[in-house]
Structure 1
Amino acid sequence: MDYVQQKNNEKVEKMCTQGLDANFHDSQGETPLTLAAGIPNNRAVIVSLIGGGAHIDFRNSEGQTAMHKASFLSSFENVKTLIELGASPNYRDPIGLTPLYYNMLTADSNDQVAELLLREAADIGVTDMHGNHEIHQACKNGLTKHVEHLLYFGAQIDAENVNGNTPLHVCAVNNHLNVQEFFYSEEHII
């Protein structure tokens, strides 16, 4: 795990060829692959781990795949690598959330990750326990480009959560005028 954190691909590859089981959980519940996916621009280590026997959709102890971790941390290169190697953008964590949903959870999220997942046929309309869709989370965090991508790929502009709030309500409550203005632009007038 130290070599994974250090991005020391040569050591990781050597350990895998010597028979290391790349599918284990460390004391924090991470797998080598979920740990690697959380480190930006870690393509070589990810490729070595999968080449060395790591199951691409193996979950950490919290039920997250490497794709969940890379998506949450908005690591475009890692998400792209995982997709190229065959990872699914649609595996769900124990509460039913996908990597696309994870990508909407922080205000500094990279919209290129969302677009890449959507282009790979990521499920849209996944809801959390409060009935919030991906688009609600994007509005909550002021992610205008994410909202644009979601709508382009078919997200419901008028989706309601359990409280009856639409994405526009969420934008207003969180004072994200930039996203509200997007909703009222000529092509998206609601």
Structure 2
Amino acid sequence: MENENAAGKTALMLAAFKGNTECVCHLIEAGARIDHADRSGLSAIHYAVDGEHRATVQRLIELGADPNAKDSNLQWTPLLRCAGLKNNGNTDVAQQLILMGARIDEQDVHGKTALHNAIICKHAALCQLLLEHGASLTIETKVIL
């Protein structure tokens, strides 16, 4: 059931990005693989984060999506993406990920954590949330920021 478009995206990824939780559930029931990744290593949960859909993120994890799945480029988890995309920084989505098992101090290929990404992208409220949930202040990156 993993028919992809020219960009390597599936119907499940599109439904997740659009926040169509009901459609996400129907697609998974019909056999769509929840962990199927596109050419960049992004799966439906990454797309739900990109679309800033807390309820869809929650349902995907309840159905078996890995809240710590890493993409194949920067090794970003959904939480790292939430913090690292300039147009995101959604605290509701980040809170849901944390409550459902996202590792706060997971590092990407450059050693950056979600806190590093939130600082770089000036997501002050997300920085506060991460710190409230125990984000480390001492993890060093492999690159100069």
> What TM-score results when the alignment is normalised by the length of structure 2?
0.87
C-alpha deviation, 1:72, in angstroms:
2.3
1:78 aligns with 2:52: no
Given the alignment, which residue of 59, 68, 79 partners 1:100?
A: 79
- Judged with a 3 Å threshold, the aligned counterparts in structure 2 of structure 1 residues 63 and 110 are, in CA distance, closer, same or farther, namely same
Percentage of pairs with the same residue:
33
RMSD of aligned C-alpha atoms?
1.8
CA drift at 1:163: 4.4
2:124 corresponds to 1:144? yes
Partner of 1:37: 16
**Residue of structure 1 in register with 2:94 after alignment:** 114
Q: CA deviation at 1:35?
A: 1.4
1:18 is matched with none
Instruction: Identify the structure with bigger relative contact order (alpha carbons < 8 Å, sequence gap 6+).
Output: 2
Unaligned runs of 5+ in 2: none
- Look up the equivalent residue of 2:32 and give its one-letter code: A
Q: Which residue of 2 aligns with 1:153?
A: 133
- The number of residue pairs the alignment matches comes to 143
Using the size of structure 1 for normalisation, the TM-score is: 0.68
Shift of 1:27: 1.4
The answer to whether the 8 A contact 1:71-1:113 is kept is yes
Shift of 1:148: 1.9
Q: Larger Cα Rg: Structure 1 or Structure 2?
A: 1
**Distance of 1:25 and 1:112 partners within structure 2:** 30
Shift of 1:129: 3.5
Gaps of 5+ in 1: 1-20, 166-190
Partner of 2:34: 56
